[in-house]
Structure 1
Amino acid sequence: MADQNATTTTSSSSIMEAKPIHPLHQISESPTHKLLLKQWLKEQDLILNRIVAKETQIDSVRKEITQLYIFFFLFHSISLTFLFSSASQQRKAGFYCRRSWIPSLCSLLCSMGIIWAVRYKTDTESHLEKLLEREKEDGKLLAKCVEELKKKGVEFDLLKEVDALRRAKSMRVEAKMVRKWSARDFVTLFFFTVSCIVLGLTNLILCG
């Protein structure tokens, strides 16, 4: 009986010894792997915070662009209405026609200013979108490394994997598509065309 119990105990201990240790338990027992996992998890949180901040900035810039659109059309509609009402109430059409360059110049300067502001804001939006895309790519790459570390445990080759991560970040080339025309160019062309139409309407109202 004693021999049987001893055999059972020996076999049980052998099974426990043969049972593989979970990778997370291996990481907790390895100071280097544990420190690396903490650093990567902290970096993931930082990347997430930067992504949220970039998305907030993009939303703010888009609201400002929308406000510029509204101001552009509101300004010209009010100015044309005012000029039409003033010219229709006066009989001296030649007087207004000789001085039509004044409202035309004001309209042109305002249009160019708004077009420049829209262009600047759209370029800012494009730059923030590129930064956001880069942060998301870094987050995906780091999440993949964290998953591999948790999966492999101490078998995770620190030098090899960390060097691969750094190399992937440094050698990453952004895919740039060569475009003759972009959405920003069409927006600028549209506003410039509307500005020319407004100038023509101004001269027509004052000299017609």
Structure 2
Amino acid sequence: MADYNNNKSSSIMESKPLHPLHQIAESPTHKLLLKQWLKEEELILNRISLKETQIDSTRQQITQLYCLFFIFHSTALLLLFSAASHANGPHFCRKSWVPSLCSLLFSMGFIWAIRYKTDVECHVEKMLEREKEDSKLLAKCVEELKKKGIEFDLLKEVDALRRAKSLRVESKPVRKWSTRDFVTLFFFTVSCLVLGLNRVILCS
């Protein structure tokens, strides 16, 4: 009777399926794949953190350029007004092209720098979006592997992951005008107004 009970309990233990994680631990292929995916997931998270830091730094630089643009033109206009109020009007009017040219060159330099930094910000944001999508796809695959164990079809699931990455398309509609274009147009308009103010100050 005791032997029968022992045999029955041992057969029940043998028939009970192993936990998926135990199955993965006993399968070298699945174990290696899980390790690789976990390592890749960690690398992606590090890249996401790095890109977020880069975006914050770029935005701070853009804000500094905005401030410098207005500080430069405000200071230049105040100096011109002060100089024009204590000097001969016609002489200053004839030479008004000099400060106007300097103002134009500095304005174009600032506008180019702002445009360049906003392009960098946009590029890094797109890369960050892709990294986040990759992280979601990989996390889903890791979860499926842990859930299914050795029932996880390596060829099918890995191929599906690669296909999802390669066929990924942007769902955002293409816009003719972006925020960067309006920012560039705004600063160009301000630069033109400053040129007009230079002429008014020196020739009035």
TM-score range, shorter chain: over 0.9
Asked if residue 181 in structure 1 is aligned to residue 177 in structure 2, the reply is yes
Instruction: Show the counterpart of 2:36.
Output: 39
Instruction: Show the counterpart of 1:79.
Output: 76
**29, 45, 60: which one aligns with 2:57:** 60
2:106 corresponds to which letter in structure 1? Answer: C
**181, 196, 199: which one aligns with 2:195:** 199
How far apart, CA to CA, are the structure 1 residues paired with 2:183 and 2:165?
Answer: 34
Gaps of 5+ in 2: none
How far apart, CA to CA, are the structure 2 residues paired with 1:73 and 1:188?
Answer: 14
Asked if residue 132 in structure 1 is aligned to residue 128 in structure 2, the reply is yes
**Offset at 1:174?**
2.0
TM-score (norm 2): 0.97
**Offset at 1:176?**
4.2
| 1:138-195 C-alpha deviation (Å, 9 max, x unpaired) | 0000000000000000000001111111111111112342212110011011101111
How far apart, CA to CA, are the structure 2 residues paired with 1:61 and 1:28?
Answer: 45
Q: Percent identity?
A: 74
**105, 111, 117: which one aligns with 1:115:** 111
Asked if residue 147 in structure 1 is aligned to residue 122 in structure 2, the reply is no
How far apart, CA to CA, are the structure 1 residues paired with 2:173 and 2:166?
Answer: 20
TM-score (norm 1): 0.96
Following TM superposition, the consecutive aligned residue runs of length 4 or more in structure 1 with deviations greater than 4 angstroms are none
Describe the SS at the equivalent of 2:171.
coil
Asked if residue 190 in structure 1 is aligned to residue 186 in structure 2, the reply is yes
**Offset at 1:16?**
1.2
Instruction: Show the counterpart of 2:18.
Output: 21
1:6 corresponds to which letter in structure 2? Answer: D
How far apart, CA to CA, are the structure 1 residues paired with 2:107 and 2:23?
Answer: 66
Describe the SS at the equivalent of 1:96.
helix
**5, 13, 19: which one aligns with 1:8:** 5
Gaps of 5+ in 1: none
Give the number of equivalent residue pairs: 204
